[in-house]
Amino acid sequence: MRPFLPALRAACLPFVTRSLRGPRRRRFVLGSALLGLFVVLCGTWIGLSPGELARDVRVSLDLERNHWDREQLEFTIFVDDHRELARVQRELESSAEWSTPRYRAEEGWLLLDAVASPHVQVPARFEDLRRRARDLRNERIDLAPPDLDERRQYQHFDWSYAHDRRRLEAILDAELVPRVVVYRSPLDLAQTIRVIGGLAGSLLLLLGMVIAPLWVGVSVAQELHENTLQPLTGTALTARQLVVGLVVGALVPVAITAAPLVLVHLSAAAIAGRLVPALGLLLMTLAMAGMLVGLAMLIALGVGKRRAPGIVGIGLLALLGLAGAVGLAVGLELRSGVIGAVTVMPAAGPGHLLAEAFFPMSHLSAADARGLDLRLVLATVGALVLGGLALRAIERIVGGTHRDGALGRIEAAAAALVLLVLATAALPERNHFGEVALASIAVALLPLQLVLLGRAPGGDVPPALRRVPVAALLREHAVWIGGAAALALLVCGPPSDPHPGAILGLMHLAWALGVAALVTLRAGTLPASIPTKVWLMVCVGVVMLEYGTAAVWCLDSPDGALLFPLAKASPVLGLVHVGLFLWIPISLLRAFVPPERAKVDVARLPELGE
């Protein structure tokens, strides 16, 4: 441990010093303190302010009912201040034909009239309420409005609806005299502290899910674009120390900003008695942030030399922002059918833990809650493993030792296994082997292509001299796909009703997955002109069509005309489909033929890359 700490300090010190040089440290510290103070003040304002804007925020966060709903439910008239209170009370005491209190009393009388109607079937346990409603209606017949017949059409009461029964009880208790009160926030001090903690946790999620990976990605892209990273590889720092230094140096401002938010978040959770989910939120956010930081660095290393840092930042912001917004929306309202989303959406798990820490709502059964806890653990461990493997690949890329791939064979297999486990855990409970296998492959296919790129040779070798072991990489890709089938077999058992058409489905599936791997290798390892990029997009479209065809044939026994679905639209399109089915693999394999072997027999194409 002792030799490790000085080495870590030596790696981080230059980058941290650069990030905090001059007055930056004071600015970051002052800014973080002001942000923490702002969170406390803003949360207090949201929780306690009677203002209209604060009330709208509480309503949008489901912390308070709509103003009109509360007035109807509680048979109350809310006023803004004591002057308006005095005015409405004078109206209440007067005998004016029209006033706000008179109108509310008439609405209450109409509801009693609907309840007392002999045409309404009343459950036996509510007969006493109906009797009270009939007696009060008859006693206050003076409140019957002149347009009684017309307004009766808009009254509805349902005894099975708790909201209607509560409204009826409020009217009966008030004896048709609406209460007039000055509006105050319904949240007490304890609930306000929860709001403060939730606001701090939301900002921590923003920092971890978006700001941290964005900051690191832009920093790496700037280093590459300005060619300031290459000279550092000639210093005494190792590639691992360079990577750690780059990450720590970029994240120091984010950590300074997050420090007071963590303090506010944990303090509010401790006061609210929800410290365990709050700590889980921090742990899972750190794990997901580490994985996203690794992904952002890989993207920056891939395009940083060709694109300006601003372009890289815009792309990362769009990607991270969209993923974070969708995941947070799902996590805050997690239901039984979508608990698996926490394994494939980085922000869904932390979002759910944020809601559990400060705004707990019981949406799940005990079995679903146990399944969700297991998936949260899987997602956290998976993010840590994927983040570590991403940093390992980045270390090889920075050190220039990735001529045989940024990931080793075992490392790539481990990453693929983690992705497939997370994809399988994301699926709803199913018992059909084919559905689970096809769905898990579809969910994990895009991340698996990134792992495949990690196995492809890199370095500064000119494209004309680069040799891509296509056959070996395709075999590895096939083994990973076999892992998805093995997981589905483990979860669901063997298929109970196989049919002969599944063989044709497997043919289409093998074609789609093989071509997807070839497209990935072609786009990621060799230069591509604009026509080539267009052709690769066409190939991706055909892959999607073939995967859908494979799913139809594997799960069902369709008409034989669906062997090439475009033929159902037109015979010409059917011929085009067959031609693409035959030509796409050949065209992709030909791209990997070395220049001196460009004129190669088509029959020898499978031997290429051995």
Q: What's the pLDDT tens digit per position in 198-252?
A: 999 999 999 999 999 999 999 888 888 777 776 666 676 777 888 888 888 889 9
> Do 228 and 364 fall within a single domain?
yes
Q: Domain end: 182, 198, 213, which one?
A: 182
Establish if 440 belongs to a structural domain: no
Q: Cα–Cα distance between 12 and 394 in angstroms, integer? A: 17
> Do 220 and 350 fall within a single domain?
yes
Kindly indicate the confidence band of residue 605, based on its pLDDT and cuts at 50, 70 and 90. Answer: very low
> Do 194 and 149 fall within a single domain?
no
The closest alpha carbon to 465, from 362, 277, 596, belongs to 596
The closest alpha carbon to 250, from 326, 309, 165, belongs to 309
Q: Domain end: 371, 405, 428, which one?
A: 371
pLDDT of 65 > 50? The answer is yes
Return the pLDDT at 366. 80
The closest alpha carbon to 541, from 576, 506, 569, 568, belongs to 576
Return the pLDDT at 264. 95
182 phi and psi, to 5 degrees?
-75, 130
Please write the tens of the pLDDT for every residue from 502-519. Answer: 888 889 899 999 999 999
pLDDT of 183 > 90? The answer is no
pLDDT of 575 > 80? The answer is yes
Q: Cα–Cα distance between 17 and 566 in angstroms, integer? A: 61
Kindly indicate the confidence band of residue 599, based on its pLDDT and cuts at 50, 70 and 90. Answer: very low
Structural domain including 165 reads 65-182
> Do 198 and 231 fall within a single domain?
yes
> Do 201 and 149 fall within a single domain?
no
Kindly indicate the confidence band of residue 104, based on its pLDDT and cuts at 50, 70 and 90. Answer: confident
Please write the tens of the pLDDT for every residue from 328-382. Answer: 988 888 887 788 889 999 999 999 999 889 888 767 778 888 888 999 999 999 9
Establish if 296 belongs to a structural domain: yes
34 phi and psi, to 5 degrees?
-65, -35
Please write the tens of the pLDDT for every residue from 252-310. Answer: 999 999 999 999 999 999 998 889 999 999 999 999 999 999 999 999 888 877 788 88
pLDDT of 387 > 70? The answer is yes
> Do 234 and 364 fall within a single domain?
yes
Count of domains forming the chain? 2
Establish if 479 belongs to a structural domain: no
Q: Which whole number is the average pLDDT over 50-68?
A: 86
**Which residue type does 520 have?**
T
> Do 176 and 85 fall within a single domain?
yes
Return the pLDDT at 334. 82
Return the pLDDT at 254. 93
Establish if 252 belongs to a structural domain: yes
In DSSP notation, 15-70 reads HHHHHTTTTHHHHHHHHHHHHHHHHHHHHHHHHH--SHHHHHHHHHTTSS--HHHH
Q: Which is more confidently placed, 480 or 563?
A: 480
Place of tokens 């296998």: 437
Identify the burial level of 326 via C-beta atoms within 10 angstroms of its C-beta, where 0-12 means exposed, 13-18 middle and 19 or more buried.
middle
Q: Which residues is 179 bridged to in the sheet?
A: 76
Return the pLDDT at 1. 45
> Do 340 and 279 fall within a single domain?
yes
Q: Which whole number is the average pLDDT over 47-52?
A: 88
Q: Which whole number is the average pLDDT over 43-67?
A: 88
Establish if 483 belongs to a structural domain: no
> Do 46 and 99 fall within a single domain?
no
> Do 205 and 338 fall within a single domain?
yes
> Do 160 and 53 fall within a single domain?
no
> Do 168 and 198 fall within a single domain?
no
pLDDT of 322 > 90? The answer is yes
Tokens of 115: 């309840």
Other CB atoms closer than 10 Å to residue 393's CB: what's the count?
29
Establish if 124 belongs to a structural domain: yes
Q: Domain end: 371, 405, 420, which one?
A: 371
Establish if 9 belongs to a structural domain: no
pLDDT of 4 > 50? The answer is yes
Establish if 164 belongs to a structural domain: yes
For the chain, the average pLDDT equals: 85
Q: Which is more confidently placed, 601 or 13?
A: 13
